[in-house]
Amino acid sequence: MQRLLLALIFSLIAIANLAVASDGVEVEQAESAAETIVSAQDLLSHLEYLASPDRRGRDDWGKIESADYIIARFEESGLQPLFEDGFIQAVPDFNDKSADPIIMGRNIGGFVEGTDPLLKREWIVVNAHYDHLGVRGGKIFPGADDNASGVSMLLELAKHFAKNPARRSIAFVSFDLEEHLLWGSRWFLAHCPLEEESIRFCLTADMIGRSLGGLDIPTVFVMGAETSPQVSHCLDQIAVPEGLEVARLGTDIVGTRSDYGPFRYRKIPFLFFSTGEHPDYHTPEDTLEKLDIDKIALVSTAMLRVADQIANLPSSIEWDVDETPSLHEVRAINSVTKQLLEAEEMGEFEMTDLQRLFVSQVKSKTSYMLRTGKISPTERTWLVRSTQLMMFSLF
Ligand SMILES: [Zn+2]
């Protein structure tokens, strides 16, 4: 009897220890995602290949070589092919309606299966387009920021999640033909290897290696948080890496600017990360030398943490647009106006008297909203218009 009791006590202790051990593992996993840092050195090796003049602006041959490079990295990381025929989804020419259309591009996709027996049926699509403008007028458009920067993030996240799978399945897709009216991502969703209802979240990066207006500011703009309360919550939860400032904006301020567009159209929650437009956007000057690789590492790290949070969420991720004006936006715009005025004072940025007056007004009005801690729908309309005006007139 006593022996039985002892055995019972021992087995209870063993169970308790097991629980501690498995808790310990969980804590360790959670910490490892929060502490993981994407390495600038690893990103650089991708960027050197993709943004090299030898890739000739990733059109024609240079684009095929880039696609091969992405596939090789996916294979190396141990991703499984996403499409029926492998890692490539052929995208036909949109003008060719014949039975055997000319192939215009290739989407590249691989995936990591989720670990949860139920949640693995739900998908997250991390994506960044790899095509660019090619050679025009005898000049190479290297597209280092647009969008070798995003692809380098994609390859590093694929590598991370292949080693540390999440509860949900994650597809990693590098779209082609973004520069042709998002034709690659539109084709992907119209001929999707995944059931549309099973895609719960889209995470897009386009141009994450420079800064708005070429200014020396630590900001990354994040759009789409308003599309889902769970996504918004996860974005709030992540540890933003030191040296990076996340500026949350509503998608209606910029509209559809990249491959999240077709997902948004289908009411799939998304986040879009971009460090913003700069004077070298769509010019031969968008080169490797001008990239801020450390910033790409910070943005990639933030994206990894968001993807990890969302892919491991126990609750479901729903499309439910929050229309209430958010102070996040006010904070973001307020910070940008401050940095603009500072940059002008330091002689790093030029503004006319009228522009300076306008930016100052936006700064004081947003400072007032932050002090009072509220923004009305009318004030938000003003904020959207003012932000759009600033973007179009200043950059
Ligand atoms: Zn782009």
CATH number of the domain encompassing residue 136: 3.40.630.10
Task: Give residue 20 CA to ligand 1 midpoint distance, Å.
Answer: 47
Domain identity same for 285 and 335: no
Among the ranges given (147-151, 225-229, 383-387, 389-393), the one the predictor scored with the smallest mean pLDDT:
389-393
From ligand 1's centre to the CA of 178, what distance in Å? 7
Q: How confident is the model at residue 5 (pLDDT cuts 50, 70, 90)?
A: very low
- C-alpha 365 – ligand 1 centre gap (Å): 33
Q: Is residue 24 part of a domain?
A: no
Residue at 9 is within a domain: no
CA distance 155 to 239: 21
Residue 264 lies in a domain: yes
CA distance 366 to 386: 11
**By percentage, how much of the chain surpasses pLDDT 70?**
92
Structural domain count, the chain: 2
Ligand 1 centroid – CA 207 distance (Å): 6
pLDDT band per the 50, 70, 90 thresholds, residue 32? low
Determine the structural domain holding residue 377 and report its residue range: 327-394
* Gap from CA of 316 to ligand 1 centroid (Å): 30
CA distance 258 to 222: 13
Non-local CB neighbours of 381 within 8 Å, separated by 6+ positions: none
Write out pLDDT tens, residues 338-382.
Answer: 999 999 999 988 899 999 999 999 999 999 999 999 999 999 999
DSSP, collapsed to helix, strand or coil, labels residue 73 as helix
Average pLDDT across the chain, whole number: 91
In a domain, 176, yes or no: yes
Question: Is 20 contained in some domain?
Answer: no
Tens of pLDDT along 79-91?
Answer: 999 999 999 999 9
Claim to verify: residue 246 and residue 346 sit in the same structural domain: no
Read off the pLDDT band of 254 (50, 70, 90).
confident
Residue 139 CA to residue 102 CA, distance in Å, equals: 27
In a shared domain, residues 348 and 286:
no
For residue 320, tell me if it sits in a domain.
no
Does residue 126 sit in the same domain as residue 175?
Answer: yes
For 153, how many CA atoms within 13 A lie in the half-sphere containing its CB? 34
Q: Are 305 and 377 members of one domain?
A: no
User: How much distance in Å is there from the Cα of 177 to the middle of ligand 1?
Assistant: 10
State whether 284 and 333 are in the same domain: no
Residue 372 and residue 247 in one domain: no
pTM as predicted: 0.90
The model's pLDDT over 173-201, given as tens digits with 9 standing for 90+, comes to: 999 999 999 999 999 999 999 999 999 99
Interval between CA 181 and ligand 1 midpoint (Å): 11
